[in-house]
Amino acid sequence: MASPLAGLPEELAGHQAGPGAPGPVLPDGPGYPRIVQAWLWLKKPTWYLDRCARAYGDVFSMRLPFGVNLVHIASPELVKAVFGGDSDVLRAGEANATILEPLVGPHSVLVLDGPEHLRQRKLILPAFHGDRMRAWEATVRDITRAEIARWPAGKPFALRPSMQAITLDVIVRVVFGVEVAERRDELRRHIRTVTGLGRNPLLLFATRDRRLGPHAPWARFIRARDALDAALTAEIRRRRAVPGLGQRGDVLSQLLLARDDEGRAMTDDEVRDELVTLLFAGHETTATSLAWAFDLLLHHPRALGRLVAELDRGGSEYLDATITETLRVRPVVALVDRHVRQAVRIGGHTIPAGAMACPNIYLAQRRADLYPDPAAFRPDRFTGQPPPAFGWFPFGGGIRRCLGASFATFEMRIIIPEVLRAVTLRPASPRPARIRREAVTFVPHDGARCVMTARRQRGVES
């Protein structure tokens, strides 16, 4: 069968528009006033995306306040064009910086472009090598068991905060490598304050004017961020003085040892910005994906039964398929964006400079031509079957693909079986959770509520 990507005119795709190309113009999209579109995008994101895709097809524009124009792209061949396009023209760092730089800092791999971005990526990536991660397995298991032991029996509780506690502890222990309990508690406290304030969508769009006073959300956010920065900088300085860093398995120690092509180490500021990046890119995304996995499994008893039976036999094929299907039907990050610096030709469109080209994860992963009954949760789509290229990209793509993709999958492959072996859960309500936006992520509206009905023989009693 011919690849769905065959025939794409590579020389025109994702590169600067040439002299013969049609003039730059935003693709069609809804004509509502910008403020109305912003409200729909914030409050009813999936409804609005589905509606736009039905009305305008694979490529459409969403016009938001302050001149922000999102060009959503949902066809695999055009997503490929964007991911493979000229990264000088399609700038991810610039796009991310608008919202994220105050949080992650100017040296973060997320907000850089060009050679500086590649340098940071090369410095970070080896710390997540498969062999290193395997050494973290026992720690992830212990953290999960300790959290499960706190769950109430017979009473509804939300799984998402519990998953957040697990993935946060994983970051503090295996990424930051902090062993002293008081320092772990201090870091967790700072992180929770920053995360709590960052959930306030006002921070995304409201003015960042400090003159609004010390109690305005922005001023409180800056104070909390500075306190976290100070705690991390102290940790970095302490770690530099520890002998035998090479023997330690944590990411922070590896970042301190890493050298670029010119033999230069990272500065304290660079290391701190990357730690904050790994923390905020990695902790809630993974926790929310886990919460979605449980919400879906608990509402699909046949899939759950099949998974538990497979785990009891020691298999993992259906587990991998379940993770792949969860990330498909409930992507936590709905889209990635690239700031268009010069008019760029993508498919039949010439996208004007200044717009955001946005490969849309949610829409592409719900295409009926790739996934029959696309809204249904059916892990067996992926048993013995890899996901289609550019029709499944929950971790983004190209030179910006998520640096923590293998780490996130590694965590999910440990935590899901650990929970299912330890306890029996039932959903707290008969219907699966609705998708709700929280800042830039899609989360279960009720936090994935469930009831623990029994502790199983093996597992958490120890």
Summarize as ranges the residues that interact with ligand HEM (CB under 6 A).
Answer: 92, 109-110, 121, 277-278, 281-282, 285-286, 289, 332-333, 336, 394-397, 400-404, 407-408
CB of 277 to ligand HEM, least distance (A): 5
CB of 32 to ligand HEM, least distance (A): 27
C-beta of residue 170 within 8 angstroms of C-beta of residue 145: no
CB of 236 to ligand HEM, least distance (A): 17
Q: Please calculate the CA angle 335-121-218 and round it to the nearest 5 degrees.
A: 55
In the complex with ligand HEM, the residue whose CB is nearer, 382 or 395, is 395
In the complex with ligand HEM, the residue whose CB is nearer, 190 or 400, is 400
**Going by DSSP bridges, is the β-strand pair 349-351/344-346 parallel, antiparallel, or unpaired?**
antiparallel
In the complex with ligand HEM, the residue whose CB is nearer, 332 or 357, is 332
CB of 157 to ligand HEM, least distance (A): 22
CB of 94 to ligand HEM, least distance (A): 11
CA nearest to 433, candidates 274, 237, 303, 298? 298
In the complex with ligand HEM, the residue whose CB is nearer, 394 or 447, is 394
In the complex with ligand HEM, the residue whose CB is nearer, 401 or 445, is 401
In the complex with ligand HEM, the residue whose CB is nearer, 371 or 395, is 395
Torsion of CA 451, 313, 166, 134, to 10 degrees: 180
CB of 332 to ligand HEM, least distance (A): 5
**Beta bridge partners of residue 70, listed in sequence order:** 62, 356
Q: How far is CA 323 from the centre of its chain?
A: 14
CA nearest to 169, candidates 194, 191, 199? 191
Distance CA 14, CA 87 (A): 9
Distance CA 434, CA 444 (A): 6
**Which helix (H) or strand (E) segment is 287 a member of?**
helix 268-298
Q: Phi-psi category of 67—alpha, beta or left, where left has phi over 0 and alpha has psi -120 to 50?
A: left
CB of 319 to ligand HEM, least distance (A): 15
- Rg (Cα) of the chain, in Å, rounded? 22
Q: What is the DSSP letter of 428?
A: S
CB of 221 to ligand HEM, least distance (A): 21
In the complex with ligand HEM, the residue whose CB is nearer, 83 or 151, is 83
In the complex with ligand HEM, the residue whose CB is nearer, 63 or 117, is 117
Cα separations (Å) of 245 from 122, 138, 252, 258?
19, 20, 10, 11
**Beta bridge partners of residue 73, listed in sequence order:** 59, 359
